[in-house]
Amino acid sequence: MLRALCPVETLYVGQRSRAVLSTALRGRVDAGALSAAFDAVTRAHPSLRTRIVPDGDGFALRLLDEAERPRLATRTGTEEDAWATELNTPLPVGGPLSRAVLVSAPEGEEHLFVLSVDHTITDGHSSIALNNEIWDRYRALVEGEAGPGAGAADARGDSGYSRHATASSASGAPDASGALKASGALEAAVEEPGWPVPVSRLLPDADETATAAYLARRVEETRAHPVELLPYDVPPGSGDGRIEVCRLTFDEERTTRLRHSARQAGVSVHALICAVLLITARRRLAGDEPRTLGCLSPVDLRSRLSPPLSAAVMVPAVTTHRQAVEVGGQADPVALARTVHARLSDFVAGDGPHHEMRITPEIPRNPALQLATVIATNMGVVAGPRLPDGLQATDVRLAPAREQYFPQAGRSPVMACVVSFEGRLAIEFPYFTACFSPSFVGALRDEVQDGLAAFADAAEPAAAPAS
């Protein structure tokens, strides 16, 4: 059975990028119950048990055989080694688009659960919701509740789910070996739980002329204002690299203070983070004069689709906003944050997000449409998993990883993945060691931390509201 990928989803096929979400745990974990919970979630979300296959001029998702579907893997090891190993273990080409691993310390009281999902079928919001759904089902199993995870499954409702396969799966489309599918494909398609509807099909109707004009304007903007990237500090040919992540964290009190300072300045926390990132990046370029830098902000589309999608729906429902700004060596972070905030707010308030999604197929031909000096994702404030008594989540992390890096390019954007689990800010800086060195990214992280801490610590303690 096939489900054709839409243009937005197809963009991720070549990137080989994935969301890597980890939950550090203290206490006893019933590996059998966790395995059953993961199996139940993969049954509820067909995309998790698929592979990507060619489909005409594009690609499609193809359900895996029962023996091939992903299962929970368990092993013994340390949290640090487990995180590094999973970051650097790709989802296999032609294999499952999801992986779940539980790594336990030898004494059995410390664990790390790592969930990896291909970005072709997920975004940050749905990967977080998926992780929480797994633990909801686990909690129901170990506490003996009937119908574990029913609430999470029911929350999908009709928001973007189809009870039938796409036309390609019902019409005898060739499978990976080129043979026609069996005549019972249509019956199987009807019985299969609903595929998530591609985001491209949920966009409102648009005037093709307006979309073409939007594309022309965007292309002209990128030509008129080319942005600078950060040069790699690792010499070419220095050997094989690996994915590492440098991390910045604030406790709940300092996070609350930062939000208060942002409100006082009339900007969002996201805009403030972007401004500090841009100024920190500017310090890595020569001279003191203004330089044109780019800031790319992913924008969640779920509330802007028809019907709106809940975070439980497993699709990449995100577009981007790119802006070019002039940043001098002595730039004022508040003024820069106000510029970033105003431009992003205008974009979100208008029809820009829908237009940006529609021109996605043009990105491979015009990569400058998404070229930026800094990329700042932001999931906002989200809840962590709800666990049974006797088991505690000591940390939750979300970081992107991909399989293709290009040291030979000599320069690239830097990425910051921002998420506040349970009201505590964390910024993950993923990088490839054949491009940027740990000392380079560590120094960048420290400067960003100092810049944000200056705003957080300027807030009066009494003025900071409760989280």
User: What is the C-alpha to C-alpha distance for residues 23 and 31, in angstroms, rounded to an integer?
Assistant: 14
- Across 354-382, average pLDDT: 94
Q: Which segment of 102-116, 154-168, 299-313, 332-346 scores lowest on mean pLDDT? A: 154-168
- The per-residue pLDDT of the chain, averaged, comes to 88
The pLDDT of residue 460 is: 64
177 vs 225, higher pLDDT = 225
List of domains in the chain: 2-202 (3.30.559.10), 208-463 (3.30.559.30)
Confidence of residue 461 (pLDDT cuts 50, 70, 90): low
For residue range 410-419, list pLDDT tens digits in order.
999 999 999 9
Question: Number of helices (H) and strands (E), helices first, in the chain?
Answer: 13, 18
Take residue 101 and report the two structure tokens written for it: 């691993």
Confidence of residue 100 (pLDDT cuts 50, 70, 90): very high
Q: Which segment of 74-83, 144-153, 291-300 scores lowest on mean pLDDT? A: 144-153
The pLDDT of residue 8 is: 87
- Across 319-347, average pLDDT: 97
For residue range 383-420, list pLDDT tens digits in order.
999 999 999 999 999 999 998 899 999 999 999 999 99
Confidence of residue 192 (pLDDT cuts 50, 70, 90): low
DSSP code at position 205: P
Helix (H) or strand (E) holding 420: strand 414-421
DSSP code at position 465: P
- 189 has pLDDT over 50: no
The pLDDT of residue 14 is: 85
CB 341 within 8 A of CB 271: yes
The pLDDT of residue 108 is: 82
For residue range 196-242, list pLDDT tens digits in order.
999 988 998 888 999 999 999 999 999 999 999 999 999 988 888 99
- Kindly report the pTM of this predicted structure: 0.88
The pLDDT of residue 1 is: 80
- Across 21-29, average pLDDT: 97
The pLDDT of residue 266 is: 96
Confidence of residue 154 (pLDDT cuts 50, 70, 90): very low
Confidence of residue 169 (pLDDT cuts 50, 70, 90): very low
- 177 has pLDDT over 70: no
CB 244 within 8 A of CB 442: no
Confidence of residue 181 (pLDDT cuts 50, 70, 90): very low
CB 424 within 8 A of CB 250: yes
Take residue 245 and report the two structure tokens written for it: 């992540």
For residue range 286-321, list pLDDT tens digits in order.
999 999 999 999 999 999 888 899 999 999 999 999
Take residue 185 and report the two structure tokens written for it: 């494909």
The pLDDT of residue 132 is: 98
Whose structure tokens read 């802006």?
Answer: 323
Residue type at 398 in one-letter notation: L
For residue range 245-282, list pLDDT tens digits in order.
999 999 999 999 999 999 999 999 999 999 999 999 99
Confidence of residue 193 (pLDDT cuts 50, 70, 90): low
